[in-house]
Homo-oligomer: A and B are copies of this chain.
Amino acid sequence: MSDERQNLYDNDEFFAGYASARENPVAMNYTVEQPGIRALLPEIEGTHAIDLGCGAGDFARWLVDEGAASVLGVDLSENMLAMAGTQPRPQIEYRRAFVEELELAAARFDLIVSSLMFHYIEDLEPVITKIRLWLRTGGALVFSIEHPITTAILGKRTGWLKDDTGKRIGWEVTDYSIEGERVSRWIVDGVVKYHRTLATTLNMLVESGFRIDRISEAYATVEGEVLDPGLLVERMRPPFLFVQAIAD
């Protein structure tokens, strides 16, 4: 396993900050991302699934509760997998790996899910090619990424435009066509993500043998907005892009 790849969740400062952020019931994870990705899932009953970037296993356990026959949870963080191990389920196997280095048998899976992980991968195309190989024909890849509108900006910590009172009034897009590394702060400094245009991501799916079946740019749930009206600003520009693609 390469030591050069970013492993945020095994950085002590990051992990402490992350664990405390996740305890907040109105975190974007609960109010935007998880409802958004779950709305795109096909029938789960009886499926053999993979969760790429499974973290502490919340989503893997939910898949089992919804009837998945088996779930392979893959993550690179020992910290997160240790948390996952505290709530074992017989249907779930966890594996520590960088997805770039993961090798699995072909055509054995019905569903591959990945929440907010692909934008950490520098060279996504070979990963998408492997995912296509692991899926049976007709199987589904469902993933979320930070929306290309939000990852575009270079050299600033945020794209939020604010009025004189500090209120968020819009989102600034620059550098959209310049793909590649974006260094930002999220809990800690120096978090590295990769910006790809929407066209690059969608064309990569088609070229790798997927049919794009559904796109979503969901913002917070109404319940989330009631709990935290600050989430209303997410309607100004899509925070995430959700894709359901079918192995063709």
Which DSSP category, helix, strand, loop or mixed, fits chain A's interface?
Answer: mixed
Q: Say yes or no: is A7 at the interface (Cβ < 8 Å to chain B).
A: no
Partner of A152, one of B178, B203, B212, B237: B237
Could you give, for residues 199-213 of chain A, a 1 whenever the CB lies within 8 Å of some chain B CB and a 0 otherwise? 100110010000111
Oligomeric state, in copies: 2
A residues 168-207 with Cβ under 8 Å of B?
169-178, 197-199, 202-203, 206
Q: Say yes or no: is A8 at the interface (Cβ < 8 Å to chain B).
A: no
Q: Say yes or no: is A84 at the interface (Cβ < 8 Å to chain B).
A: no
Tell me whether A174 and B212 are in contact (CB under 8 A). no
Query: Contacts A149-B149, A174-B171; is A215 near B198 (CB within 8 Å)?
Result: yes
Closest Cβ neighbor of A156 among chain B residues: B170
Tell me whether A174 and B178 are in contact (CB under 8 A). no
Alpha-carbon gap, A199 to B239, bound state (A): 13
Q: How many residues of A contact B (CB 8 A)?
A: 32
Q: Say yes or no: is A118 at the interface (Cβ < 8 Å to chain B).
A: no
Tell me whether B176 and A172 are in contact (CB under 8 A). no
Query: Contacts A206-B213, A213-B206, A214-B203; is A238 near B197 (CB within 8 Å)?
Result: yes
Q: Say yes or no: is A161 at the interface (Cβ < 8 Å to chain B).
A: yes
Could you give, for residues 121-163 of chain A, a 1 whenever the CB lies within 8 Å of some chain B CB and a 0 otherwise? 0000000000000000000000000000100110000000100
A236 neighbours in B (Cβ, 8 Å): 173-177
Alpha-carbon gap, A170 to B168, bound state (A): 16
Q: Say yes or no: is A216 at the interface (Cβ < 8 Å to chain B).
A: yes
Alpha-carbon gap, A153 to B173, bound state (A): 13
Q: Say yes or no: is A78 at the interface (Cβ < 8 Å to chain B).
A: no
Q: Say yes or no: is A89 at the interface (Cβ < 8 Å to chain B).
A: no
Could you give, for residues 214-248 of chain A, a 1 whenever the CB lies within 8 Å of some chain B CB and a 0 otherwise? 11110100000000000000011110000000000
Ranked nearest first, the 5 interchain pairs of A and B with the lowest CB-CB distance are A170-B174, A177-B235, A173-B237, A199-B215, A170-B172
Q: Write the residues of chain A forming the contact surface with B, with a CB cutoff of 8 angstroms.
A: 149, 152-153, 161, 169-178, 197-199, 202-203, 206, 211-217, 219, 235-238
